[in-house]
Chains A and B, each alone.
Chain A
Amino acid sequence: MIKVSRLTKYYGPTRAVEGVTFEAEKGEIIGLLGPNGAGKTTIMRMLTGYFAPTSGTAKVAGYDIIEEPMEVKKRLGYLPEVLPLYYEMVVSDYLEFVAQIKGITFKERRAKVAKALGLARIEDVKHRIIGRLSRGYKQRVGIAQALLNDPEVLILDEPTIGLDPKQIIEIRELIKSLGGSRTVLLSSHILPEVSMTCEKIIIINKGRVAAVTDKAAIEGKDRILVKLLGQPEQAVAALSKVKSVAKVEHSVEGSYSVLTLESSGKKDIRQDVFKAVVESGLVLVEMRQASHTLEEVFLKYTAKEEDAR
């Protein structure tokens, strides 16, 4: 559905994106993760035809973005980071206008506008002026706009930025519900955001793909945090023996010892850890899967990149 090959963009002499290559299958939800200024928006703008790449190309929905941009645009829904809304317009009029410029025929227009209103759950505000809506509703109008033409590929740039926690959860659910039939590419600089909605995660750093990884690796299924009552030395000794524990780090928190275990295999080691703790006579007060922070993930992947050179 999306096939990006060696996409590069320079703004004058400044490198924004260099040699970005990745692919997305039909129905996948893919996340572009990276700090601000990493080049996420630039990649999206090239894919959506907002501007042309300096070199390289991409295929979206089977069409080349340089050779057949019109065909790409017909099959694409795009939510830019800055919401492209006409604030003085009424929601339904706005969607009607977008339907017109997206080339939706008069016959279909009404049904499609109604469908988009439904998907974004904004029927109750359709007669209101966009400028007077709350940020969360504006975001939904933006999403409705992107969904109007039943796009095969949906590109969402920071879809949850500026929303409150409740709205973030709602938008996240909405995005998840959109996957399946559509290919969704979204960007974020917030790790949990991406790991919660996307199966495949592309880490972008300084305009390059630092890593292509999946949800599990980022969520830290392979990493367990254990909090024990007792001396750290004793605890480390006991837990190092557990099968497939590769690395143990420890710290002290008052009278507790906090250990971080990393497993080498895919197997869940929590059962074994529990047994080992009981056998050694220590008292377990807490155990959970520890998620990586964005910094850790970056360090991990950017360090790998450095090593490779």
Chain B
Amino acid sequence: MNSIWSIAKRELRNYFVSPIAYIILTVFFVICGLFGYIEYMAKFQYAQLVPIMGLMTNIFMFLSPMLTMRLLSEEKKQGTLELLYTSPLTITGIVLGKYLGALLFFGLLFLISLEFPIFLMLYGKPDVPVMLASMLGFILFGGTLIAMGLFSSSLAETQIVSAVIGFALVLIFWVMEFFSSAVSGSVGNWLATLSLSKHLESFNKGVLDGGDIFFFLAMSFMFIFLAIRRLEWKRW
């Protein structure tokens, strides 16, 4: 347990040693801020968090592979995985530590993004339950993308390759709904249930659907599990 925390802490610190943390945070908040300004001040002038949440999910979709690409790829390439494997750690512990590290960075990003709801509260009267629901949706969505990226990182030895795989994976699950409309019958319906965007809809309407919450948690769990299996399989 302690070692999971040690790995997570090192990972979080690592983000700020390299320029990646600053790039992600800058890009994210410059775009969201600009859009927020246009959306609220210039265009509609209504107090709703949903439009900006929608934008945040879209931007984070593009940035998440950058956040996760180095998690396991870098360890493999630098040979430090050999250190982790020969230390008294389990593979599950290593992978969970990595996940937690990236999740902590995402948590930081989320904390900064609280400026948007705070300003809405200060200058307008937003619908608080809808706001909270959409924020929960964003958190669950972020956790799922990080799990997907972590799995991609377990597949590749270079950061670029793992970023590309990660982005492809996220994109496939994002546009799954579009695929599903092209396929008729039960296969189509089944594909639709795997769509990330579809499961986000209810949150943005202020509805907390148990099925949708379960979907994101299950997806995260599945990709973390796959990453663990992948490393175990590689090892024997």
Whether A242 sits at the interface, judged by CB under 8 Å, is: no
CB distance from B165 to the nearest CB of A (A): 23
CB pair A86 B3 closer than 8 Å = no
CB pair A84 B88 closer than 8 Å = no
Q: Identify the stretch in A99-107, A218-226, A267-275 within 8 Å (CB) of chain B at 4 or more residues.
A: A99-107
CB pair A76 B86 closer than 8 Å = yes
**B interface: dominant SS:** helix
Check A80/B88 contact, CB under 8 A, given A51-B235, A101-B6. Answer: no
Complexed CA–CA distance, A70 and B235 (Å): 16
Binary flags per residue of B88-116, CB closer than 8 Å to A gives 1, else 0? 11000000000000000000000000000
Chain A residues at the B interface, C-beta cutoff of 8 Å: 45, 48-52, 70, 73-74, 76, 78, 80, 82-89, 97-98, 100-103, 145
Whether B182 sits at the interface, judged by CB under 8 Å, is: no
Complexed CA–CA distance, A89 and B3 (Å): 18
Give the residue of B2, B14, B79 whose beta carbon is less than 8 angstroms from that of A84.
B79
Instruction: Using CB atoms, name the residue of chain B closest to A157.
Output: B82
Complexed CA–CA distance, A12 and B23 (Å): 43
CB pair B88 A102 closer than 8 Å = yes
Q: Which residues of B contact A87 (CB under 8 A)?
A: 78
Complexed CA–CA distance, A103 and B89 (Å): 9
Ordered nearest first, which 8 A-B pairs have the shortest CB separation?
A: A84-B83, A82-B79, A100-B6, A73-B88, A48-B86, A84-B80, A80-B82, A101-B87
Complexed CA–CA distance, A220 and B68 (Å): 56
Whether B205 sits at the interface, judged by CB under 8 Å, is: no
CB pair A97 B10 closer than 8 Å = yes
CB distance from B76 to the nearest CB of A (A): 11
CB pair A101 B7 closer than 8 Å = yes
CB pair A83 B86 closer than 8 Å = no
Q: Pick 18 A–B contacts, CB within 8 A, sort by A.
A: A50-B82, A50-B86, A52-B235, A74-B88, A76-B86, A80-B82, A82-B78, A82-B82, A84-B80, A84-B81, A86-B10, A86-B80, A97-B10, A98-B87, A100-B3, A100-B6, A103-B3, A103-B88
CB distance from B136 to the nearest CB of A (A): 33
Q: Which residues of A contact B123 (CB under 8 A)?
A: none
Q: Which residues of A contact B155 (CB under 8 A)?
A: none
Give the interface size class of chain B.
20 to 34
CB distance from B231 to the nearest CB of A (A): 11
Known A82-B82, A86-B10, A145-B83; 20 more pairs at CB < 8 Å: A45-B82, A48-B86, A49-B86, A52-B235, A73-B88, A80-B83, A82-B78, A84-B78, A84-B80, A85-B80, A86-B14, A86-B80, A88-B14, A88-B17, A97-B10, A98-B87, A100-B3, A100-B6, A101-B84, A102-B88
Whether B85 sits at the interface, judged by CB under 8 Å, is: yes
Q: Which residues of B contact A50 (CB under 8 A)?
A: 82, 85-86, 235
**A interface: dominant SS:** loop
Q: Which residues of A contact B82 (CB under 8 A)?
A: 45, 50, 78, 80, 82, 84
Complexed CA–CA distance, A84 and B75 (Å): 9
Q: Which residues of A contact B79 (CB under 8 A)?
A: 80, 82-84
Whether B119 sits at the interface, judged by CB under 8 Å, is: no
Q: Which residues of B contact A97 (CB under 8 A)?
A: 6, 10
Complexed CA–CA distance, A50 and B80 (Å): 12
Complexed CA–CA distance, A70 and B93 (Å): 13
CB distance from A237 to the nearest CB of B (A): 59
Complexed CA–CA distance, A102 and B3 (Å): 8
Whether B186 sits at the interface, judged by CB under 8 Å, is: no
Whether B44 sits at the interface, judged by CB under 8 Å, is: no
Give the residue of B7, B17, B78, B87 whose beta carbon is less than 8 angstroms from that of A73.
B87
Give the residue of B78, B88, B236 whose beta carbon is less than 8 angstroms from that of A86.
B78
CB distance from A129 to the nearest CB of B (A): 9
Instruction: Using CB atoms, name the residue of chain A closest to B234.
Output: A51
Complexed CA–CA distance, A224 and B22 (Å): 68
Q: Which residues of A contact B89 (CB under 8 A)?
A: 101
Q: Which residues of B contact A52 (CB under 8 A)?
A: 235-236
CB distance from B89 to the nearest CB of A (A): 6
CB pair A102 B80 closer than 8 Å = no
CB distance from A210 to the nearest CB of B (A): 27
